[in-house]
Structure 1
Amino acid sequence: MPASSLNPQVDAFVRTAAKWKEEYEKLRAIALDCELAETFKWMHPCYTFQEKNIVLIHGFKDYCALLFHKGALLKDAHGILIQQTENVQSARQIRFANVQEIVDLELTLRAYIYEAIEVEKAGVEVSFKKPAEFAVAEEFRQKLDELPALKAAFEALTPGRQRAYLLHFSQPKQSKTRASRVEKYMPHILAGKGLNDE
């Protein structure tokens, strides 16, 4: 790898990693060898093609992963792409428990990366579910019906912010918990803020 193509933030990320250091180094070498540009986004090594995100390297307690930003559009001929949760619409992971698993899959990983680059070259986009396609918690629906200002403020939010609220409100099993979440975030919605905005 030419030193000019290495991102110093990624160097620091790998060097200071408490876990998965060898795995990160191997995944990094594969991504760079596929002629992707190395950047650092969302606190992780991210690899791009013509400034479009292709893959991200990240680690968890039990595995590290190569995350394909538009993994839902890949053919996944080997059936190895994992959807992290049912609410993740675009990204898919390939998970590893050790460096040998990466070595064994290296040719497949390269093929998937090249396929992801072709998806970007073709300009294909993931078609996201619209907020209207998500379940609306009954507790939130009642508030929207009762308070026209809340309904107007919610409808003025971006689709991504609407989705985040709908998912957050509908997750709890108990009505009481759903209602308390709605109460807590009503001021955010009225202020035009997203779920995680300060």
Structure 2
Amino acid sequence: MDKTNQWQKEIDYLEAIISKMPLLKTIKWGTSVYTLNNQNVIGVSGFKSYVGLWFYKGVFLSDKKKLLINAQEGVTKSLRQMRFKSINEIDEAVLIDYITEAIEIEKAGLTIPKTKKEYKIPTLLLQAFEENKDLELAFLQFAKYKQNDFIEYIDSAKQEKTKIDRLEKIKPMILSNIGLNDKFKK
């Protein structure tokens, strides 16, 4: 909380600007999020070294002033962020332009289409299927998303030893028709 309190003046100023727009203020994830028709448009929060103003569909903004950044390149697809280190960096007229455009984007219903991740069965698991056909038959009985859970569980391990350990752990689960995350899906 100390990190956000140091930015209270900047946050208050940003929220005063946003409040002039036809957006509804809500609190999500412990911070201010402004919505239009129950869709997130803008969020405001203080961080250790800056105040962030993020646009949930910022990828569609024209960004004429080149103020937007992708905070997690390669991970974040749509979200774009503006960062401020002092109240003097905040230009109300520029923000109004960006927010107006963000509202129009939301009204237009623009979204990035979701892409399905393609999963390839790891060699270790294929070898296990060759050794035990019952294992393969049991695996194929699972819904695709549950198969993907097992595949990702093995693939996400960095070391070969960990991959082997994980495979050994899931073999009895597969044979017993228990999905990797079933205990969490009650």
Both proteins in one fold, TM over 0.5 = yes
Unmatched tracts of structure 2, length 5 or more = 130-134
1:128 aligned to 2:128? no
Larger Rg: 2
Query: Per the alignment, do residues 153 and 41 of structure 1 end up closer, same or farther by CA in structure 2, a change over 3 Å counting?
Result: farther
2:85 corresponding residue in structure 1: 97
**Counterpart Cα distance in 1 of 2:78 and 2:141:** 29
**Counterpart Cα distance in 1 of 2:165 and 2:99:** 40
DSSP-derived class of the 1:81 partner: coil
Q: Do the aligned partners of 1:70 and 1:91 also contact (CA within 8 Å) in 2?
A: yes
DSSP-derived class of the 1:57 partner: strand
1:191 aligned to 2:181? yes
Partner residue of 1:107 out of 84, 93, 97: 93
2:56 corresponding residue in structure 1: 69
Partner residue of 1:38 out of 25, 31, 50: 25
TM-score (norm 2): 0.70
- Which segment drifts farther, 120-129 or 38-47? 120-129
Q: Percent identity?
A: 30
Partner residue of 2:5 out of 3, 18, 21: 18
Deviation, structure 1 residue 141? 2.6
Query: Per the alignment, do residues 39 and 177 of structure 1 end up closer, same or farther by CA in structure 2, a change over 3 Å counting?
Result: farther
Deviation, structure 1 residue 63? 1.0
1:141 aligned to 2:122? yes
Unmatched tracts of structure 1, length 5 or more = 1-12
**Length, aligned pairs only:** 169
**Counterpart Cα distance in 1 of 2:165 and 2:7:** 36
**Residue type at the aligned position of 1:175:** Q
2:14 corresponding residue in structure 1: 27
Query: Per the alignment, do residues 46 and 143 of structure 1 end up closer, same or farther by CA in structure 2, a change over 3 Å counting?
Result: farther
TM-score (norm 1): 0.66
Deviation, structure 1 residue 62? 1.1
Cα deviations across residues 111-155 of structure 1 (Å, max 9, x unaligned)? Answer: 1111111011111112233312xxx6x9x7345545655677583
